[in-house]
Amino acid sequence: MSCCCEFQGCDKGAKVLGVIFDLDGTLLDTERASRGVLNEFLARYGKELDREKEDKKRLGMTQKDTATIMVTDYELPLTPDQFINEITPMYRERWAKAKALPGANRLIKHFQKNGVPVALASNSLREYIDAKISYHKGWKESFSVILGSDQVKAGKPSPYLFEEAAKKMGVDAINCLVIEDSLVGVKAANAAQMKIVAVPSQREADCNGLANVVLHSLLEFQPELWGLPPFDDWLDDTLPIEPIHLSGLYVTGCLEESTDNATLALPDQAVGLYLGWAKIDTDRKFKILASINLDFSCVAYKRIRVYLVDSNSDLKQKQKMQISLVGYIRTWDNKELSSIAFDKLDEYKSTARASLDLPSFACL
């Protein structure tokens, strides 16, 4: 397993000719969109969610397997099928709110533009896949193959989904690259003998040892390392991105998100160094750098450190702040930005200052 900065490229004898994506947690942030559904459902039966127990469960399981576990763990007076029939409408209502994860739209459009065959292979039922992607313009048309677990004899971690996707694309398994977020998905790709890029949440960190490369975000993905056409959308040292909007309390240089559970607003797969704009009130806007790092000492597992680009900007401590991140500079490198030499921080500020004067990084 390598991180993105260590990986030197794939074996020249096994060029990547097709890419297979997982959906939930890889391209689409369905988990956060549907957070709270299980709480609400269990309350109907006088049960309380066991957060510690749920945090240890694996993402990416089939619906039937998940239902069987839930009925058993919470001693529900239901069969797995009854559980599915009752809870599915509740989830469907939330799918419309599921956002594309950072870098997802960019990657899909890039492959489509360059004629790279792309498939979608998910442990969700095909009906559910179609419903989820229907809210995202152009997604359905971008995939030459879409497969759900009900279209093969067994879902992940069995290899059948990926094998069937490769077959339908007309690409040999050795020439396929799988992009996944979950342990069961990575195991399935391994069983299919395909190359693997993992973009896991913090709960799925133990899939790291099975993947060829582990990224913190799809924004880190470098197609050229896999023999695929490189991106051409960087503006000097900065990448324009779909805006990420956050709000909270600015305290001692950090933004504390204004939500009961800070993981709701920001997915794990958003760490890195960003530039953007901060708003204190209707009249005051500031250019900022924002370092989003994994920090397991925090309840939300993430720390959002905000740096003012202009040193003459004066901010009071403990005040409400809204930020819009509009550009990406680099990956997270296991260090707090504050540990980087001041000259490096000044370099990043200079980059942000120049970029934020360009129309591509305008404040919304």
Residue carrying structure tokens 């992940």 = 156
The answer for residues whose C-beta is within 8 angstroms of residue 142's C-beta and 6 or more apart is: 108, 109, 111, 112, 118
What are the two backbone dihedrals, phi and then psi, of residue 95, each rounded to the nearest 5 degrees?
-60, -30
DSSP 36: T
Task: Respond yes or no: is residue 22 known to be catalytic.
Answer: yes
**Catalytic residue selected from 11, 24, 65, 236:** 24
With CA atoms as reference, report the closest residue to 182 among 1, 19, 26.
26
State both tokens at 1: 């397993």
> What is the Cα–Cα distance from 181 to 59, expressed in whole angstroms?
8
CA–CA distance, 32 with 246 (Å, rounded to integer)? 15
Q: How many residues does the chain have?
A: 364
Tokens of 187: 């195991």
Phi, psi for 234 (deg, rounded to 5):
-75, 140
Nearest to 220, CA basis, from 262, 183, 270, 268: 270
Residues in CB range of 291: below 8 A, 6 or more apart: 273, 274, 303, 304, 305, 307, 332, 336, 337
233 is catalytic: no
d(CA 192, CA 271): 30
* Contacts (Cβ under 8 Å, ≥6 apart) of 120: 20, 21, 22, 23, 27, 129, 133, 143, 145, 146, 147, 165
What Rg, from alpha-carbon coordinates, does the chain have? 21
Q: Pick the closest to residue 92 from 121, 68, 120, 125 (CA basis).
A: 125
Question: Which of 22, 29, 181, 268 is flagged as catalytic?
Answer: 22
Beta strands in 172-238 (DSSP E): 176-180, 195-198, 213-214
Active site positions, annotated: 22, 24
